[in-house]
Amino acid sequence: MAELKTDISTLKSEEMILNMGPQHPSMHGVLRLELLTDGEIVKDCVPHIGYLHRCFEKHAEKLSYGQIIPFADRMDYLTSMNNDHVFVMGVERMLGIDKEIPKRVEYIRVLVCELNRIASHLVAIGTYGMDIGAWTPFFWCFRDREHIMNMFEWASGARLLYNYIWVGGLFFDIPVGFEDRCKEFVDYFRPKIDELDTILTENSIFVNRTANVGVLPLNVAINYGCSGPMLRGSGLKWDLRRVDNYSVYPELDFDIPAGKGIAGTTGDCWDRYWVRVQEMRESLKIIEQCVERLQKDLKRSPDFDPRAKMPKKCIPKAQDFYIRGEIPKGELGYYFIADGKTEIPFRCKARSASFSNLSVLPELAKGVMISDLIAILGSIDIVLGEVDR
């Protein structure tokens, strides 16, 4: 674990080493920031992690591929559908059955993943507004997220950790009427995003607290391995749904929002927030297209079995394999080492988006006010379960 490279005996009279967290209300989890401050100015910042170690990779050494899925749920527990989708795609490609997955299954997977993307961004935006001092958006975002939670509970029986996407298929087909409920949500939520724009995006206090704060230059974002809204907020249209064209995303029409420096400097906190708002609009477009396909070309059939392509045993050939996908926070990757003999992977390494995005915080924190450090941390949108794994 890194430490501040400062000898206490050499501290100047105005300097102080300050611990922020792991119980600080603006930490977004059990993160501890060790700060070297000069009055209200942060001179150095070192994140300390490991307070929420999930033991994911150790669990994966003892469980079969299908049994690992509930643990993938629990890394970034706000994006369980997305975590499972990427994991399952990797196992299916190792098994060589990725081309056999029914289209209806693929469209349902994308549908629930985009709903989960909106739910995750709502938490990010709502809590971020609260960090800055705006309470109303927090209540609005969690109110709207509740509709998605209710739909997921209807489909999977769970509100947070779903275990819904399985190797070769799904836990169950979506309930009758689920598509209509999705259309109702799209019609309901689209004007709500406009309301959010009015109360937060264009709010002068919010703009003053986020514009030109925590500017992340594009070259620094790339060098630190940042991804997702962190990278796109710095102006690069890099989205694995388009770059890798996995699942049925090549068949769908949607844009990739990127920061433009509308309110301040490209790559600042406001741009990262703005990208998430625009991504929710794009997810609504994807949901509409998925629902249309599911209701017209891929209609529900009494004979349809979402588990039909599920292998009785998941024993891939001996290989090393890396799969990646675009979850709401950025690139999530799984590196598998399969021995070709058992259903248990020899190694399953997770590459988490939150971990890489958090690593750039010391660069962004130098020379800022302590209050701005809270704004910068909130704009990164981390979940410590994924950082610590």
Dump pLDDT digits (tens) for 240-277: 999 999 999 999 999 999 999 998 899 999 999 999 99
Both structure tokens of 315: 């024993």
CA 98 to chain centre: 23
Superfamily name and number for 56-388: Cytochrome-c3 Hydrogenase, chain B (1.10.645.10)
pLDDT above 60 (res 1)? no
Q: Coil, strand, or helix at residue 186? A: helix
pLDDT of 202: 87
DSSP code for 10: G
State the pLDDT confidence band at 8, using cuts at 50, 70 and 90: low
The contacts of residue 157 (CB under 8 Å, 6+ apart) are none
Alpha-carbon gap, residue 65 to 80, rounded angstroms: 16
Alpha-carbon gap, residue 176 to 383, rounded angstroms: 33
Helices marked H in the chain: 56-60, 65-73, 80-95, 103-132, 136-156, 178-196, 204-210, 218-223, 229-232, 240-243, 269-295, 353-358, 361-365, 370-380, 384-388
State the pLDDT confidence band at 26, using cuts at 50, 70 and 90: confident
The domain ranges of the chain are 56-388
Q: Coil, strand, or helix at residue 117? A: helix
